[in-house]
Amino acid sequence: MRLVTWNVNSIGARLDRVLAWCEEHQPDLIGIQELKCTDDAFPHDAFSHLGYISYTHGTGRWNGVALLAKSSVRDVTKNLNAQPLYEDTTEPRAIACTFKDVRVWNLYVPNGREPGHEHFAYKLEWLKSLKETIHAELNEYKQLVVMGDFNIAPTDDDVWDIKDFENSTHVTVEERNALAKVLQLGLVDVMPRSLKGKPFTFWDYRALMFQKAMGMRIDLVLATDTFKSRIQDIWIDREERKLKGGSDHAPVVVDFE
């Protein structure tokens, strides 16, 4: 079976690429982030032609997450338990489902903008609510995966050069501690295999960052030990990031069972 997480940076702008990728790589379940479209505007038909049922959670211009499955799934959940608001709205950043015997959470963690920003405090609150949600889920599910764009580089090795990250988000002690609290519930950050170079999942569009190998590992797959033991391979499709008209994030592919 094949499970994938991918921040597509607008499903509207990326539709042809995402369809082509799915056709070539045949994920059984793919979680995508940053839809930038409403549930109504989501291209359900285009995916159903490829055999996917799409479960979407999007409200428009920003954010948005979806799960696309080759077979029907159960217990679709949107939002975290007691998810904090941002500017009085519950943003569409979390969706979960039960796929066969595996519980899968697909996340788009808030960016944080800069340390000290209101959005940074929101990011930490959001991660706290993620911890509480996953804590509750672990009572029910042993085969659990929490994946998506975490907007956190877990260690200094997960960025091209930590010296370039002074006063930056994604690498602060606060963010890493908030992630560590989720892991302490009984999950492991499963390290993906890179097809070339360091196992980065994101390269900024600007300044030839991809060509200079200046990336970050911020798209993560967290798994319980019982699910991790079923993983045969986990790898980053950097080839997709190379292509013209691609997302700035690469798909992370989990082959299991």
Partner DNA sequence: ATGGCCGACGAAGTCGGA
- Interface residues with DNA (CB under 7 A) are 7, 9-10, 12-13, 34, 36-37, 60-63, 110-111, 113-114, 119, 149, 151, 169-170, 202, 204-208, 216, 218, 245, 248-249
Between 18 and 73, whose beta carbon lies closer to DNA? Answer: 18
Q: Which amino acid is at 56?
A: T
Question: How many residues make up the chain in this entry?
Answer: 257
Q: How far is the CB of 101 from DNA (least distance, A)?
A: 31
Q: How far is the CB of 109 from DNA (least distance, A)?
A: 8
Q: Do 33 and 4 meet the contact criterion of CB atoms below 8 Å apart?
A: no
Q: How far is the CB of 233 from DNA (least distance, A)?
A: 25
Between 149 and 240, whose beta carbon lies closer to DNA? Answer: 149
Between 102 and 218, whose beta carbon lies closer to DNA? Answer: 218
Between 225 and 239, whose beta carbon lies closer to DNA? Answer: 239
Q: How far is the CB of 228 from DNA (least distance, A)?
A: 25
Q: How far is the CB of 23 from DNA (least distance, A)?
A: 20
Q: How far is the CB of 232 from DNA (least distance, A)?
A: 28
Q: Which residues contact 25 (CB under 8 A, 6 or more apart)?
A: 2, 4, 237, 251, 253
Between 202 and 256, whose beta carbon lies closer to DNA? Answer: 202
3-state secondary structure the chain: CEEEEEECCCHHHHHHHHHHHHHHHCCCEEEEECCCCECCCCCHHHHHHCCCEEEEECECCCCCEEEEECCCCEEEEECCCCCCCECCECCCCEEEEEECCEEEEEEECCCCCCCCCHHHHHHHHHHHHHHHHHHHHCCCCCCEEEEEECCCCCCHHHECCHHHHCCCCCCCHHHHHHHHHHHCCCCEECCCEECCCCCCCECCCHHHCCCCCCCECCEEEEECHHHHCCEEEEEECHHHHHCCCCCCECCEEEEEC
Please state, in angstroms and rounded to a whole number, the distance separating the CA atoms of residues 257 and 255: 7
Q: How far is the CB of 24 from DNA (least distance, A)?
A: 20
